[in-house]
A and B are shown apart, each in its own frame.
Chain A
Amino acid sequence: MSEYIAPIRDMQFVLKELAGLEQVAQLPGCEEATPDLVDAVLEEAAKFAEGVLSPLNIPGDQEGAKWHDKAVTMPKGFKEAYQQFSENGWTALACEPEFGGQGLPKVVNACVTEMWKSANHAFSLCPLLTTGAIEALVLAGSDALKATYLEKMVSGEWTGTMNLTEPNAGSDLAAVRSKAEPQGDGTYKIFGQKIFITYGEHDMADNIIHLVLARTPTAPEGVKGISLFVVPKFMVNADGSLGARNDVHCVSIEHKLGIHASPTAVLAFGDNGGAVGYLVGEENRGLEYMFIMMNAARFGVGLEGVADGERAYQRAVTYARDRVQGPDIGVRGGGKVAIINHPDVRRMLMNMRCQVEATRALAYVVGAAHDAAVHHPDPETKKQNQAFVDLMIPVVKGWSTEVGVDVATTGVQVHGGMGFIEETGAAQHLRDVRISTIYEGTTGIQANDLIGRKMAREGGATIKAVIGTIRALDAELAKQSGGKSGEHFAVIRSRLTTGVNALEQAADWIVANYGKDVRAVSVGAVPFLWLFGIVAGGWQMARAALVAQARIDGGDVDAFYVSKIVTARFFADHQLSRAEGLASTVIEGGAGALALEESAF
Chain B
Amino acid sequence: MKVLVPVKRVVDYNVKVRVKSDGTGVDIANVKMSMNPFDEIAIEEAVRLKEAGTATEVIAVSAGLAGCQETLRTAMAIGADRGILIETDAELQPLAVAKLLKALVDKEQPKLVVLGKQAIDDDANQTGQMLAALLGWPQATFASKVMIAGDKATVTREVDGGLETLEMSLPAIITTDLRLNEPRYATLPNIMKAKKKPLDTVTPDALGVDVAPRLKTLKVAEPAKRQAGVKVADVADLIAKLKNEAKVI
Listed in ascending order, the chain A residues whose CB lies under 8 Å from chain B are 5, 8-9, 32, 34, 36-37, 39-41, 43-44, 47-48, 51-52, 84, 87-90, 92-93, 102, 557-560
Asked if B29 and A557 make an inter-chain contact with CB atoms under 8 angstroms apart, the answer reads: yes
User: A interface, by DSSP: helix, strand, loop or mixed?
Assistant: helix
Nearest B residue to A9, CB-CB: B32
List B1-52 residues whose CB lies under 8 Å from chain A. 14, 29-30, 32, 34
Q: Is the CB of B74 within 8 A of A43?
A: yes
3 cross-chain pairs, A with B, having the tightest CB-CB distances, nearest first:
A89-B188, A558-B30, A88-B187
Asked if residues A36 and B70 are in contact (CB atoms below 8 Å), the reply is: yes
- B74 contact set on A, CB distance < 8 A: 40, 43-44
Interface, chain B (partner A; CB < 8 A): 14, 29-30, 32, 34, 69-70, 73-74, 77, 185-189, 191-192, 194-195
Chain A residues near B189 (CB, 8 Å)? 89, 102
A-B contact pairs, 16 of them (CB 8 A): A36-B195, A37-B191, A37-B195, A40-B73, A40-B194, A41-B191, A43-B74, A44-B77, A44-B185, A44-B188, A48-B185, A51-B185, A52-B185, A92-B188, A102-B189, A558-B29
Cα–Cα distance between A87 and B73 once the two chains are bound (Å): 20
Asked if B30 and A88 sit within 8 Å, CB to CB, the answer is no
Closest to A51 in B: B185
Contact yes or no, A89 B187, CB < 8 A: yes
Do A39 and B185 touch across chains, with their CB atoms under 8 A apart? no
CB of A555, distance to nearest CB on chain B (Å): 12
Most buried by A among B14, B186, B194: B186
The residues of A that contact B77 with a CB separation of less than 8 Å are 40, 44
In the bound assembly, the distance between CA atoms of A93 and B74 in angstroms comes to 18
Enumerate chain B residues within 8 angstroms of A90, measured Cβ to Cβ.
188
Closest to A92 in B: B188
CA distance A530 to B119 in the complex (A): 50
Query: How far apart sit A89 and B77, CA to CA, in the bound complex (Å)?
Result: 13
CB-based contact B185/A93 at 8 Å: no
Q: Which residues of A contact B185 (CB under 8 A)?
A: 44, 47-48, 51-52, 84, 88
**Is B70 a contact of A39 with CB atoms below 8 Å?**
yes
Structural contact, B195 and A88, CB atoms closer than 8 A:
no
In the complex, chain A residues whose CB is within 8 Å of the CB of B186: 44, 47, 88
B192 close to A37 (CB less than 8 A): yes
B73 touches A44 (CB 8 A): no
Q: A5-B14, A36-B73 are in contact. Are A41 and B32 (CB under 8 A)?
A: no
Min CB gap A4→B, angstroms:
11
CB-CB under 8 A from B70, the residues of chain A are 36, 39-40
B160 to chain A, nearest CB (A): 30
From known contacts A51-B185, A52-B185, infer whether A40 and B191 are also in contact, taking CB-CB under 8 Å: yes
10 additional contacts, CB 8 Å, given A36-B69, A40-B191? A37-B195, A39-B70, A41-B188, A51-B185, A89-B189, A90-B188, A557-B29, A558-B29, A559-B30, A560-B30
Chain B residues near A36 (CB, 8 Å)?
A: 69-70, 73, 195
Nearest CB in chain B to that of A556: its residue: B30
CB distance from A561 to the nearest CB of B (A): 10
| A87 adjacent to B187 (CB under 8 Å) | yes
A374, chain B: closest CB distance, angstroms: 20
Q: B60 to nearest A CB, angstroms? A: 14
Which residues on the B side are within 8 Å of A559 (C-beta)? 30
Across the interface, which residues of B come within 8 angstroms of A87, CB to CB? 187
Q: Measured between alpha carbons, how far is A521 from B192 in the docked complex, in Å?
A: 50
Provide the bound-state CA to CA distance between A557 and B192, in Å: 32
Please give me the residue from chain B that is nearest to A84 by CB atom. B185
Of A8, A47, A87, most B-chain CB atoms within 10 Å: A47
Chain A residue nearest to B14 (CB atoms) is A5
Distance to closest chain B CB from A553 (angstroms):
17
Residue on B nearest A45 in the bound complex, by CB: B188
The minimal Cβ–Cβ distance linking A21 to chain B, given in whole angstroms, is 15
Given the known interface contacts A36-B73, A36-B195, the answer about A43 and B188 at a Cβ–Cβ threshold of 8 Å is no
CA distance A31 to B15 in the complex (A): 33
Give the complex CA separation of A316 and B12 in angstroms.
Answer: 23
B182 to nearest A CB, angstroms? 10
Given A88-B185, A88-B188, verify A43-B34 contact (CB < 8 Å). Answer: yes
- Cα(A344)–Cα(B185), bound, Å: 41
Contacting residue for B191 out of A34, A44, A558, A560, CB 8 A: A44
CA distance A90 to B186 in the complex (A): 10
Q: How far is the CA of A41 from the CA of B188 in the complex (A)?
A: 7
Question: How far apart are A488's CB and chain B's nearest CB, in angstroms?
Answer: 21
CB-CB under 8 A from B194, the residues of chain A are: 40
A325 and B53 CA atoms in complex are apart in Å by 60
CA distance A102 to B193 in the complex (A): 11
- Residues from chain A with Cβ under 8 Å of B188 in the complex: 41, 44, 88-90, 92-93, 102
Instruction: Please measure, in the bound complex, the distance between the C-alpha atom of A516 and the C-alpha atom of B69, giving whole angstroms.
Output: 63
Please report the C-alpha to C-alpha distance between residue A559 and residue B27 in the assembled complex, in whole angstroms. 12
A159 to B117: give the CA distance in the assembly, Å. Answer: 43
Complex alpha-carbon distance, A36 and B186, angstroms? 16
A559 to B32 Cα, complex, angstroms: 13
Q: How far is the CA of A87 from the CA of B184 in the complex (A)?
A: 12
Q: State the Cβ distance, A315 to closest chain B Cβ, in Å.
A: 16
CB distance from B66 to the nearest CB of A (A): 11
Q: In the docked arrangement, what's the CA distance between A9 and B32, Å? A: 9
Q: What is the bound-complex CA distance between A560 and B185, given in angstroms?
A: 28
| CB-nearest residue of chain B to A47 | B185
Chain B's nearest CB lies how many Å from the CB of A10?
12
CA distance A84 to B14 in the complex (A): 24
* In the bound complex, CA of A51 to CA of B183 (Å): 12
B245 to chain A, nearest CB (A): 26
Minimum CB–CB distance from B134 to chain A (whole Å) comes to: 33
Residues of chain A lying within 8 A (CB to CB) of residue B69: 36
Contacts of A41 in B (CB 8 A): 188, 191
Indicate which residue in B29, B32, B187, B192 contacts A32 across the interface (CB closer than 8 Å): B192
A43 vs B194: C-alpha distance when bound (angstroms): 14
